[in-house]
Amino acid sequence: MTHSAPKIYADIDWTTLRANALAQKGWQEKGPGEWDKKARSFAGRNKSAAYIDLVLEHMVLDPSFTVLDIGSGPGTLAIPLAKRVDSVTAIDFSPGMLDTLETLAREEQVGNIRTVQCAWEDDWQEKGLQPHDIAIASRSIGVKDLSTALSKIDRYATRYVFLTDRIGSTPFEEGAFAALGRPFSPGPDYIYTLNTLYSMGIHPNVTILNLERDVPYPSLAEAMQSYSWMFGDLTGPESLALERYLTGKIICAEGDRVTIRRDSPPRWALIWWAKDAYASALE
């Protein structure tokens, strides 16, 4: 009788496990066209978010550095980063996001950002991209082929790599799905990314970023708009159910302004590593 050897960590197929989790997730990925429509409102919601300060606080920055921002969106990090470094190259697959970024950068008189319409799956060399001192991927690694994306971001950084990934249900709210009668599965989060990196021989640092649980909105209608992105198109009954759910979450109301308390605070994992030539500088 032949006995198989006991399973060990090296036998875990993280690629398959992550693909299975992606197939079970309870939310829909958005294409460039959908992000185009949401670019301006997305920028408004994120401009003063605590998330920005938390990420920048933990980044290693220098006025001489160049930064490649992958999945930049409307410049959530690209614009504040550009004020602290030599230059930023912002890439995104949504032209609407990049148009919004360029408009906001002009409004803030930030002139050292170059935008390139580009996706993770594209040939970055053909797009004219070169390695930068820092490569970042902020909340933008929800790709199918994670190991290829991680290898690519590592190749395009000469000093440091920074990326943020979801923890648990973040940025979604499971209670809101339940209120609408929709099933919810969070899909893969940072633990898959962390273990994929480990299997690639990369041993990163991890910092947990805890965001505010209580979120103020100019009005209940604004809160509805903010939450609606979780679901895509809502039916009439679902809109009413979501309004009832949010009304029940109001902990403070002053005029039209409301403060919504989430069931739990959103949490993101900041995952970062120094390239070999610079790792000793942090020891």
Residue 242, classed as helix, strand or coil, is helix
| Predicted local distance difference test score (pLDDT) of residue 187 | 86
Residue 75 CA, chain-centre distance (Å), reads 12
pLDDT digits (tens, 9 = 90+) for 109-162: 999 999 999 999 999 999 999 999 999 999 999 899 999 999 999 999 999 999
Nearest-angstrom CA–CA distance, 162 and 205: 10
| Predicted local distance difference test score (pLDDT) of residue 39 | 42
Nearest-angstrom CA–CA distance, 111 and 283: 35
The stretch 260-267 carries a mean pLDDT of: 91
How confident is the prediction for the chain on average, in pLDDT?
Answer: 88
Q: Which two tokens stand for residue 41?
A: 């409102």
The stretch 93-119 carries a mean pLDDT of: 95
Question: Residues for the chain: how many in total?
Answer: 283
Q: Which two tokens stand for residue 100?
A: 């919004």
Backbone angles phi, psi at 105, to 5 degrees: -65, -40
Q: Pick from 130, 132, 197, 125: which is nearest to 159 by CA? A: 132
| Predicted local distance difference test score (pLDDT) of residue 277 | 59
Nearest-angstrom CA–CA distance, 105 and 135: 20
Nearest-angstrom CA–CA distance, 144 and 19: 7
157 burial via Cβ count (<10 Å: 0-12, 13-18, 19+)? buried
Helices (H), the chain: 14-24, 32-46, 50-58, 78-82, 95-107, 146-155, 174-180, 190-199, 220-228, 236-247, 276-279
CB distance 30 to 244 below 8 Å:
no
Q: Which two tokens stand for residue 214?
A: 């209580």
**Per-residue pLDDT at 184 exceeds 60:** yes
Nearest-angstrom CA–CA distance, 41 and 38: 6
| Predicted local distance difference test score (pLDDT) of residue 133 | 97
| Predicted local distance difference test score (pLDDT) of residue 157 | 97
Identify the architecture of domain 9-212+266-282 in CATH: 3-Layer(aba) Sandwich (3.40)
Residue type at 259 in one-letter notation: T
| Predicted local distance difference test score (pLDDT) of residue 94 | 92
In terms of phi and psi (left: phi > 0; alpha: psi -120 to 50; beta: otherwise), the region of 168 is left
| Predicted local distance difference test score (pLDDT) of residue 35 | 43
| Predicted local distance difference test score (pLDDT) of residue 228 | 87
Specify which residues 217 forms β-bridges with.
258
The stretch 178-203 carries a mean pLDDT of: 93
Of the given ranges (31-45, 94-108, 181-195, 231-245), which has the lowest mean pLDDT? Answer: 31-45
| Predicted local distance difference test score (pLDDT) of residue 125 | 94
Q: Which two tokens stand for residue 198?
A: 């480990």
Give the global pTM.
0.86
pLDDT digits (tens, 9 = 90+) for 26-44: 555 555 555 444 544 444 4
Express as a percent the part of the chain with pLDDT over 70: 88
| Predicted local distance difference test score (pLDDT) of residue 34 | 54
| Predicted local distance difference test score (pLDDT) of residue 40 | 46
126 C-beta neighbours (distance < 10 Å), count: 8
